[in-house]
Amino acid sequence: MIHSNVQKVQNLLKYTFGIVPIVAGLDKFTNLLTDWSQYMSTSLIDMLPLDIGLFMGVIGIVEIIAGIIVLVRPFIGGFIVASWLSLIALILIISGSHFDVAVRDLVMAIAAFSMVKLYENS
């Protein structure tokens, strides 16, 4: 019974952290969910060596790849997603805006790391 519940939680987390980054990554090209560039500080945008649209496309590709890795190798992908979400939260905190999103991303990073721990001994 306990093993069965652990497997259910593993699968729930795997599909969550696999599908959500893929959807968010795809949305970097369409901005249907939100205008993702609003989460970038203007000073950071000014430092970019490329256009913000192109930069968001690169971020989208990274997120899609991370989601696919989670679906194929949840142990490794969980580390990638947890690190990525922590980095996003750190950037938001440093920029002094969107603290609510930073907190949400830190909570999701903890959940992704928890998935890693569940897969550690399986």
- The confidence band for 2, taking pLDDT boundaries of 50, 70 and 90, is low
Instruction: Give the global pTM.
Output: 0.90
- Round to the nearest angstrom and report the end-to-end CA distance of the chain: 16
Q: Looking at residue 122, what is its pLDDT?
A: 73
Q: Which residue has the higher pLDDT, 2 or 48?
A: 48
Q: Which residue has the higher pLDDT, 36 or 82?
A: 82
Two tokens, residue 97: 């805006």
Average pLDDT, integer, range 24-40:
92
- The confidence band for 17, taking pLDDT boundaries of 50, 70 and 90, is very high
- The confidence band for 39, taking pLDDT boundaries of 50, 70 and 90, is confident
Two tokens, residue 27: 């949305």
The dihedral built from the CA positions of residue 45, 51, 57 and 59, taken in this order, carries a sign that is: negative
pLDDT tens for 64-114 read 999 999 999 999 999 999 999 999 999 899 989 899 999 999 999 999 999
Query: Could you tell me what percentage of the chain is helix, strand and coil, using 3-state DSSP and rounding each to the nearest 5?
Result: 85, 0, 15
Q: Which residue has the higher pLDDT, 70 or 35?
A: 70
35 alpha-carbon distance from chain centroid: 16
CA distance 18 to 115: 11
> Are 102 and 71 within 8 A, CB to CB?
no
